[in-house]
A and B are shown apart, each in its own frame.
Chain A
Amino acid sequence: MRESWLLLQRNLSDFWKTFRRNQMGLIGAFLVGTALLLAIFAPLLTSISPMETVRTADGRALTFAPPSVHGPLGTDDAGHDIWSQVAFGARISLVVGFLAGFIAMFVGSLLGILAGYFGGWVDTLIMRVTDVLLVIPDLPLMLVLVAAIRQLNLKISPLVILILVIGLLYWTSTARLVRSQVLSIKERQFVARARAIGAGHGHIIRKHILPQIMPLIVANTVLILSTAILIESGLAFLGLGDPTQPSWGTMLNFAFDRNAISNGAWWFYLPPGLAIVWVSLGCVLLGNVLEEMLNPRLTGHHLEGEARVLSASLKSAEESSEEVSHG
């Protein structure tokens, strides 16, 4: 136990040494980190509730006030503080995005492991389902699904419906990735040896396969998060969010429906969109860097000058010999 902890510690510090030098990764971590802080400390960072109406001295609602009149981001058509809505909206957007992303990650990893490890008809079935899901246009499918589920009057929050629909539709890429990794790992010698000394399927998956694919799953999850957050914003923009708990997408739905554009109220429609770009960009940068660190790819090509070509071909020679020794 102690040894594995030490190993984990060393791996993490190695990881940090490489990560620290990667600008893209640091920017991504900064973007995601600040958004998380905003969501967590929303009550401390705002002076007024997002549902409270800002009023002028004579008691009238201060509607469509620009940032110069009411700081820092002005008010909307009902006189609600925009900054406060953005800060509290971060909670909704991030919670929905993260939960949906985690469901997708969990379902995708589970099905990917099952397909890759057991093969046969299990594999065929799961892969055909992913093929089918991949081709059906996702937004129309989600819209029809959400509309139908809402009609059932199940008395569950619209946000829960969004989380489930996004989570249960976006697992296909994770499943494919995990499956291909499991396929190559299960052919390695240590798995064959474990099986030879009588280890069961559960043991092999938990002790030998999961630890190997875990880093890749983490990187993939970060990428899925950005998709989930973007999809949530889109569905909310089309009016499928919860109006009583507005996310950034719901804010944009309000801004669009209530003529923020024709009123020139840029402070109403710019901040929520920037926030969405901020988080999804952060997740993409972070996810790409993590994936790159765990899964290095091509480093050069033949039109780049002699020295690089040489080093690239040496490198690819090394890589292929490594592959041979793995196989």
Chain B
Amino acid sequence: MSRRDYLFRKLLLSLVTIFMVLVINFVLFRILPGDPVRAVIGRNVKISAEVQQALREQFGLDKPIFPDQFFNALRQWAQGNLGVSWSLRRPVAEVLMSKLGNTLLLIGLGQVLSIFFGVLLGLFAGWKRKTPFDVGALTFSLIAWATPTFWLGIILLAAGSTWLGLPTGGIVSPENVGKPLYAVLPDLARHLVLPTLTLTILYLGEYMLIMRSSILEVLSEDYILTAKAKGMTNWQVLWRHGLKNAMLPIVTIVALNLGFTVSGAIYIETVFSYDGLGKLFQTALIKQDYPLLQGAFLLLAVSVIVANMLADILYTSLDPRVKAN
């Protein structure tokens, strides 16, 4: 199968998955209580029966659920119309966009740091297999895997705020809200320390584990033996032949982990009252703000699926050996 066929299949799969997400979103939205008209105009706005009827017709709610209402919903979503949040009384799309940047900042920092340290430590652990360093690294990653994200967050929150005087939540201190970014940068950094640390510790373990097994596999290839026989030092072999080849699986894992990262953001933003999409999702859940919940789910799911597809494309251009299966 050629690279083009492979990419075509991936694209098709992504489209099918997005379609499934849309169907799930539509079906769940119909199960949840409340009039869809209310979802759009807000729960507490008073309107007359005639206006309500006019709105019902405008939204096509007098038509059958399938296909009319379903395709109508698709059209609305495609235009970025996700309804109005019941608790915030603002358009869902607008609320989501206002929180997106904060979440990307947190996830981005956490991912970059955990990939950097994970790759470095994993490389070393694989090279020095079965030494105390390797055993320590393995033990760490096992414990990190078995630790609930939110619980590590709670512990770091308690420890960091008590002993280091770090802020217990939010993105900037109340007195700094609304000031320009450059003025609040040090304050922002102080607020980011604990949530970023939590994310990094948790994801570090997994990247380390993947890198370790990947480098072990690469180091048992014949070209490593050849490089060694040419008289290269261990460091040279590791750097020139080991690292580059062993890095490949990391690309796929970053993509596959995106869903996991989103889960992490929901837990960590909840624990640290960090004003992002994750916290928003949790609030929507608790307040039973369904339009917001549905909109957030749609945004998170579609971004993860698209990012996954992009990672696949990147992977095939990095590794020409990639074939389907």
User: Do B271 and A303 touch across chains, with their CB atoms under 8 A apart?
Assistant: no
CB of A284 closer than 8 Å to a CB of B: yes
User: Do A277 and B31 touch across chains, with their CB atoms under 8 A apart?
Assistant: no
User: Do A140 and B237 touch across chains, with their CB atoms under 8 A apart?
Assistant: no
- CB nearest neighbor in A for B224: A302
User: Do B220 and A135 touch across chains, with their CB atoms under 8 A apart?
Assistant: no
User: Do B238 and A303 touch across chains, with their CB atoms under 8 A apart?
Assistant: yes
Residues of A within 8 A of B33 (CB): 151
Residues of B within 8 A of A255 (CB): 154
Q: Which of A239-298 contact B (CB under 8 A)?
A: 239-240, 249, 252, 255-256, 261-262, 264, 266, 269-270, 273, 276-277, 280-281, 284-285, 298
In the assembly, what is the distance between CA of A131 and CA of B143, in Å?
A: 28
CB of A10 closer than 8 Å to a CB of B: no
User: Do A152 and B31 touch across chains, with their CB atoms under 8 A apart?
Assistant: yes
The range of chain B's interface size is 35 or more
From the candidates A137, A226, A261, A277, name the one contacting B258 in the complex (CB within 8 A): A137
User: Do B297 and A141 touch across chains, with their CB atoms under 8 A apart?
Assistant: yes
The range of chain A's interface size is 35 or more
User: Do B220 and A237 touch across chains, with their CB atoms under 8 A apart?
Assistant: no
User: Do B32 and A285 touch across chains, with their CB atoms under 8 A apart?
Assistant: no
Q: Which of B61-69, B90-98, B177-185, B282-290 contacts A (4 or more CB under 8 A)?
A: B282-290
Instruction: Please report whether the interface of chain B is mostly helix, strand, loop or mixed according to DSSP.
Output: helix
In the assembly, what is the distance between CA of A132 and CA of B266, in Å?
A: 22
Smallest Cβ distance from B19 to chain A, in angstroms? 9
Interface string of B267-310 (1 = CB under 8 A from A): 10011000000000110011010100110110011001100100
Number of A-B contacts (CB under 8 A): 167
User: Do A303 and B228 touch across chains, with their CB atoms under 8 A apart?
Assistant: yes
Instruction: Please report whether the interface of chain A is mostly helix, strand, loop or mixed according to DSSP.
Output: helix
User: Do A128 and B16 touch across chains, with their CB atoms under 8 A apart?
Assistant: yes
From the candidates A138, A238, A281, name the one contacting B270 in the complex (CB within 8 A): A238
User: Do B237 and A233 touch across chains, with their CB atoms under 8 A apart?
Assistant: no
From the candidates B216, B256, B267, name the one contacting A237 in the complex (CB within 8 A): B267
CB of B187 closer than 8 Å to a CB of A: no
In the assembly, what is the distance between CA of A303 and CA of B155, in Å?
A: 40
- CB nearest neighbor in A for B234: A303
Q: What are some 15 contacts across the A-B interface (CB < 8 A)?
A: A136-B17, A136-B304, A137-B259, A139-B266, A140-B263, A140-B296, A144-B28, A148-B28, A152-B31, A252-B151, A255-B154, A262-B168, A284-B142, A302-B221, A303-B238
Extra contacts besides A144-B294, A234-B267, A237-B150 (5): CB < 8 Å: A137-B262, A140-B263, A144-B293, A145-B28, A277-B148
